[in-house]
Amino acid sequence: MSRCSRRKLTGVLIAAAAAALLVSPPASAVTAAVNGGDAMYTVSPGPGREPYYCSAGFAILVKEVRYILTAGHCTEHGLDWKDIGRNVDSHFPVTDYGRVENPSGSGHSQVDLYDGGTQRILRAGTPAVGQLVCRSGMTTKKTCGKVLGLNQTVNFGDGKQVVGTIATDIPVGAGDSGGPLFYAGVGYGVLSGGNNQVSFFQPLPPVLAAYGATLA
């Protein structure tokens, strides 16, 4: 099952998967290396011991320490991620990004294309409206579409908003949160939420600037 919220884009109310909460992992949940779009798994400390899943975004370096960038609503619970590392911080709402320490990771930032290959991400950028873009995530794998708008404000309810998002027409599902938006070797953002018609991404360049980070 998934925890969802209600969001609004240009006056259209949609159901958006705001976080990943799945009862059982998909067959592809465990991987040898963590690339963008791969599953991230943790378990809540509560009595139900509920499993949480999100998707990895980009591998980044901050003062030579390696992290996995993902959505802030994925890291806000403060739980460590199995076979990856500990949560470091969470920025949500207003923005939607967080990082997970990845001490055993190595190599360049890459995205899982779910066809046996990966795409190296060379730089961060800002897409143009109408541009073709792709995203990768543990639930819906790699899918592509076009950019619908920039600087979109997304309402989560309870007074929570994420501002400045990239809106696309790429469908997403529960567990895809935090996965990368990219095209060729350019990274654009990490998934904040969406549904089977529209999706919203936290832009990548301002996150790298806020952390003083570079792509691995």
Distance CA 39, CA 134 (A): 17
Contact by Cβ (8 Å): 60, 67 = yes
Distance CA 168, CA 133 (A): 8
Distance CA 140, CA 121 (A): 20
Q: Report residue 90 as tokens.
A: 């969470």
Distance CA 4, CA 97 (A): 18
Q: 5, 109, 136, 177: which one is catalytic?
A: 177
Q: 73, 90, 136, 192: which one is catalytic?
A: 73
Q: State yes or no: is 96 an active-site residue.
A: yes
Q: 38, 55, 96, 199: which one is catalytic?
A: 96
Q: State yes or no: is 77 an active-site residue.
A: no
Contact by Cβ (8 Å): 22, 177 = no
Q: Which residues are catalytic?
A: 73, 96, 177
